[in-house]
């Protein structure tokens, strides 16, 4: 049985969990919060979450895990069949992660963990997010799913990362850059929120919120 190690409040954890649910691959979850504990570093070299325990060993990095799942469990594919469409799917994922999530992450300290982001960081993040959102809008209109008419890996990524753009920019910049830059994405998130897999993620995140609050409190004391 595969074991997904991480926590329900993590967007990267939920990306992999969505893929497992959508692919109908059985798995169990093991609750793990960020740490540099040697036992965790032995399983996830950077101590990043999530990581996947398989019968062959552990795998870290959510995108690597998604690609492993696609290779190991080809039934219920999450990528299109043509090489070009697969590349375009991964291009969407790269935009979502490199040019949106990794950028907005610089605001999480202030948005969620009681920290303060420097003014120059806020200015830079806003500039880069506007650019990243424009790039995403050049590749999808969110008419149905992110990459066309069916649910794909790019949806597993968009569903978990795009709300972070909204939440963190609202909290730190006082404006929802997602709503301003890509209003169709807000409608898409609302539509997809009724999907069974997405509802399960949301319910699990809610159920784990006291555990997450305890982690945030521990983190603030460090
Ligand atoms: N590139 C990694 C990013 C994962 C990531 O940043 N996870 C966060 C939790 S949402 C984490 O482990 N943070 C702790 C740390 O960076 O040490 C992936 O795709 O899995």
Q: Which atom of ligand 1 is nearest to the CA of 47?
A: 17
Cα of 94 from ligand 1 centre, angstroms? 15
Q: Which ranges in 43-182 belong to alpha helices (H)? A: 62-72, 83-96, 102-104, 108-112, 119-139, 153-173, 177-181
Q: What is the dihedral of CA 184, 99, 21, 14, to 10 degrees?
A: -110
Q: What pLDDT does 219 receive?
A: 79
pLDDT of the residue at 220:
77
Q: How far is Cα of residue 95 from the mean position of the Cα atoms in its chain? A: 12
| The pLDDT of residue 84 | 98
Task: Please report the domains of the chain, with CATH numbers, ordered by start residue.
Answer: 2-77 (3.40.30.10), 83-198 (1.20.1050.10)
Q: How far is the CA of 80 from the centre of ligand 1 (A)?
A: 27
* pLDDT score of 221 more than 80: no
The pLDDT score that the predictor gives to residue 222 is 73
- Provide the percentage of residues in the chain whose pLDDT is more than 70: 100
Cα of 50 to ligand 1 centre, how many Å? Answer: 7
Taking only the tens place, the pLDDT of each residue in 38-72 is 999 999 999 999 999 999 999 999 999 999 999 99
Please state, in angstroms and rounded to a whole number, the distance separating the CA atoms of residues 196 and 207: 16
* DSSP single-letter state for residue 78: S
Distance (angstroms) between ligand 1 centre and the Cα of 187 equals 27
| Ligand 1 site-directed mutation target among 7, 12, 107, most atoms within 8 Å of CB | 12
How far is the C-alpha of 170 from the C-alpha of 153, rounded, in Å? 27
User: Which protein residues are within 6 Å of ligand 1, measured from CB?
Assistant: 10-12, 34, 47-49, 61-63
CB 52, CB 3: distance < 8 Å: yes
| For the chain, percent of residues with pLDDT exceeding 90 | 95
> What confidence tens digit (pLDDT) does each residue in 148-207 have?
999 999 999 999 999 999 999 999 999 999 999 999 999 999 999 999 999 999 999 999
Rg (CA), the chain: 17
Hey, what are 39's tokens? 């036992």
Average pLDDT, the chain: 97
Q: Is the pLDDT of residue 218 over 90?
A: no
| Listed residue (153, 155, 152) closest to 188, CA to CA | 155
């Amino acid at each position: 049985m595969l074991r997904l190690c991480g926590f329900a409040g993590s967007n990267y954890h939920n990306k992999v969990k969505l893929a497992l649910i959508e692919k109908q691959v059985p798995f169990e979850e093991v609750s793990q919060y960020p740490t540099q504990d040697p036992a965790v570093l032995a399983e996830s070299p950077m101590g990043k979450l999530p990581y996947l325990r398989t019968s062959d060993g552990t795998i870290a990095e959510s995108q690597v895990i998604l690609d492993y799942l696609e290779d190991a469990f080809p039934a219920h594919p999450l990528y299109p069949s043509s090489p070009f469409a697969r590349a375009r799917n991964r291009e969407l994922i790269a935009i979502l992660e490199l040019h949106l999530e990794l950028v907005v992450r610089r605001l999480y300290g202030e948005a969620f963990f009681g920290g303060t982001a420097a003014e120059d960081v806020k200015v830079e993040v806003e500039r880069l997010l506007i650019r990243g959102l424009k790039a995403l809008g050049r590749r999808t209109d969110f008419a149905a799913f992110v990459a066309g008419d069916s649910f794909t890996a790019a949806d597993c990524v968009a569903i978990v990362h795009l709300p972070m753009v909204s939440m963190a920019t609202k909290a730190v910049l006082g404006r929802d850059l997602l709503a301003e830059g890509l209003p169709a994405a807000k409608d898409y998130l609302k539509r997809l929120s009724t999907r069974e897999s997405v509802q399960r993620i949301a319910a699990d995140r809610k159920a784990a919120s006291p555990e997450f609050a305890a982690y945030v409190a521990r983190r603030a004391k460090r």
